[in-house]
Structure 1
Amino acid sequence: MKIVHIVPSFGKQSYGLGSISMGLAKAQLDTGADVSVWSLDMEEDVLWASQTYNFPKDKLFGFPPNIPLIKTSRAEVSKALKDKSFDIVHQHSLWTSQSLITSILRKNGAKSIIAPHGTLSEFALGKSKLKKDIALSLFERKNLEKSSVLHATSEYEIEDFKRLGLNNPIAYIENGVGSEIVEMKGNGEQFKEKYNLPRDKKILLYLSRITPKKGLDMLIPAISELKDDFRDWVLVIVGNDEFNYQREVLEIIDKCNLRNKVFIIEPQYGNAKFDVFDASNFFILPSYSEGSPMVVVDALAYGLPVITTKSSSWNDLNKYQCGYWVDIKKIEIKKALEKMINLSEEELILYSKNAVKLVREKYLWDEISQKTIEMYKWLAYNENKPNFIY
Structure 2
Amino acid sequence: MCRASCRLHWENRRAGVGRHMSEPRHAVLTVACTGSNLGGPSRTVPKLAEELAKMGTAVTLVTLDLGKRVGHPIAPGPPVTTVFASGLYWPRARVVWSPGFARTLRDVCNVSKPHVLHDNGLWMQSNRDAASVARELAIPLVLSPRGMLSAWALKYKSVKKRLAWVLYQRRCLSIVSAFHATSAAEAADIRACGLEQPIAVIPNAVALPPLWTGQRTKTILFMSRLNPNKGALELVDAWARARVVGWKLLVVGPDENGYANRLRESVIKQGLSNDVVIRDAVGDIEKWDLYGAASVFILPSHSENFGVVIAEALASGTPVITTDATPWRAVESEGCGWCVAPTVSALALAMESAMTTDPVTLAAMGTLGRKLIEREFVWERVGQQMSELYAWLTKGGRPPAFVC
TM-score by length of 2: 0.86
Counterpart in the other structure of 2:125: 97
Task: Give the counterpart of 2:354 among 318, 335, 340.
Answer: 340
Query: What is the CA distance between 1:71 and its match in structure 2?
Result: 4.4
Higher helix share: 1
Structure 2 match to 1:231:
245
Shift of 1:134: 1.5
Which range moves more in the overlay, 70-79 or 267-276?
70-79
Q: Which residue of 1 aligns with 2:206?
A: 177
Q: Give 1:341 deviation, angstroms.
A: 1.6
* Residue of 146, 170, 192 corresponding to 1:141: 170
- Following superposition, the deviation at residue 362 of structure 1 comes to 0.4
Correspondence 1:116-135 to 2 at 5 A: 116-135=145-164
Tell me the equivalent position of 1:193. Answer: none
Q: 1:139 to 1:297 in 2, by over 3 A?
A: same
* Deviation of the 1:117 alpha carbon: 1.1
Q: CA deviation at 1:65?
A: 2.3
CA separation in 1, counterparts of 2:239 and 2:161? 35
Distance 2:392 2:239 in 1: 49
Q: 2:242, 2:67 → 1: CA distance?
A: 47
Match of 2:189 among 148, 160, 166: 160
Greater CA deviation, 102-111 or 59-68? Answer: 59-68
CA distance in 1, matches of 2:209, 2:101: 36
Instruction: State the 1:31 CA deviation.
Output: 1.8
Which runs of 5 or more residues in structure 1 are unaligned?
190-198
TM-score normalised to the size of structure 1?
0.89
Cα deviation for residue 57 of structure 1 reads 8.3
Matches within 5 A, 1:41-60: 41-42=65-66, 48-50=73-75, 53=76, 55-56=77-78, 59-60=81-82
Contact 2:304 2:327 in 1 (8 A): no
User: Which of 60, 69, 80 pairs up with 1:36?
Assistant: 60
Instruction: Choose which of 131, 134, 142 in structure 2 pairs with 1:113.
Output: 142
* Residue pair 2:31, 2:119 contacting (<8 A) in 1 also: yes
CA RMSD of aligned residues (A): 2.3
- Contact 2:224 2:309 survives alignment (8 Å): yes
State the AA in 2 paired with 1:73: S
Pairing 1:274-313 to 2, within 5 Å after superposition: 274-313=288-327
The residue number in structure 2 matching 1:195 is none
Partner of 1:78, secondary structure, is helix
Match of residue 192 from structure 1: none
Q: What CA distance in whole angstroms lies between the structure 2 residues aligned with 1:57 and 1:374? A: 20
Distance (whole Å) between structure 1 residues aligned to residue 176 and residue 192 of structure 2:
17
Distance 1:354 1:114 in 2: 33
Map Cα deviations across residues 185-233 of structure 1 (whole Å, 9 max, x no partner): 59x78xxxxxxxxx9x511000011112211222112121124xx1131
- More displaced 10-residue stretch of structure 1: 143-152 or 71-80: 71-80
Hey, what's the Cα distance between the residues in 1 that align with 2:26 and 2:184? Answer: 29
Who is 1:81 aligned against?
106
Going from structure 1 to structure 2, the CA distance change for 1:170 and 1:96 (only over 3 Å counts) comes to same
Between the aligned partners of 1:256 and 1:67, the Cα distance in structure 2 is: 35
> Does the CA-based 8 Å contact 1:67-1:74 persist in structure 2?
no
**TM-aligned CA deviation for residue 145 of structure 1:** 2.2
Asked if structure 1 preserves the Cα contact closer than 8 Å seen for 2:117 and 2:140, the reply is yes
Do 2:102 and 2:130's aligned partners in 1 also have CA atoms closer than 8 Å? no
In the aligned structure 1, how far is the partner of 2:180 from the partner of 2:51?
A: 17
Q: Percent same amino acid at aligned positions? A: 28
**AA partner of residue 349 (structure 2):** K
SS in structure 2 at match of 1:328: coil
- Do the aligned partners of 2:38 and 2:225 also contact (CA within 8 Å) in 1? no
User: How far apart are residue 297 of structure 1 and its match?
Assistant: 1.0
Deviation at 1:325, TM superposition (A): 1.2
Q: Which residue of 2 aligns with 1:202?
A: 218
- Aligned residue number for residue 84 of structure 2: 62
Higher-RCO chain (CA-CA 8 Å, sequence separation at least 6)? 2
Aligned length: 371
Checking the alignment, whether the CA contact within 8 Å between 1:239 and 1:268 is kept in structure 2 is yes
Q: CA–CA distance in 1 between the matches of 2:259 and 2:105?
A: 37
- Counterparts in 2 of 1:271 and 1:35: CA distance versus 1, 3 Å: same
Q: Where do 5+ consecutive residues of structure 2 fail to align? A: 1-24
Q: Residue type matched to 2:101 in 1? A: E
Whether contact under 8 Å (1:150, 1:170) holds in the other structure is yes
- Aligned 8 A contact 1:81 1:104 in 2: no
Pair 1:7 & 2:31 matched: yes
